[in-house]
Amino acid sequence: MKEIIEEITKLTDEWRYLTGKGHCKDRDFHWYIETKWSYGQPPTYEVQHWGYIRHEVRVVCSSYNDALVALKAELENAIKEEKEIEDTIKDDESW
């Protein structure tokens, strides 16, 4: 588990670097895993992000480990998309 947490930490740093150059708010840099206990059922773990750049992210998982994996995947996708946007802007002479 320590390894994936370190990977996620590096990804959040990369996300901050990529998105921090433009119009962003503090909430763009926070990602969450919320534990929900309801009605005597086993807990669920929800990956959440409430930014302006990436907008709303909500992924429900049945274990904390699955939530870590989902969070890592969400960050990797967000970073990939942000890099594609940057490449498009660099290639577009009208920017």
pTM comes to: 0.88
pLDDT in tens, 20-69: 876 668 888 999 999 999 999 999 999 999 988 888 999 999 999 999 99
The more confidently predicted of residues 86 and 13 is 13
Domains in the chain: ranges and CATH? 2-89 (3.30.160)
The pLDDT of residue 92 is 61
Element (H, E) at 20: none
| Class of residue 87 by CB neighbours under 10 A (exposed 0-12, middle 13-18, buried 19+) | exposed
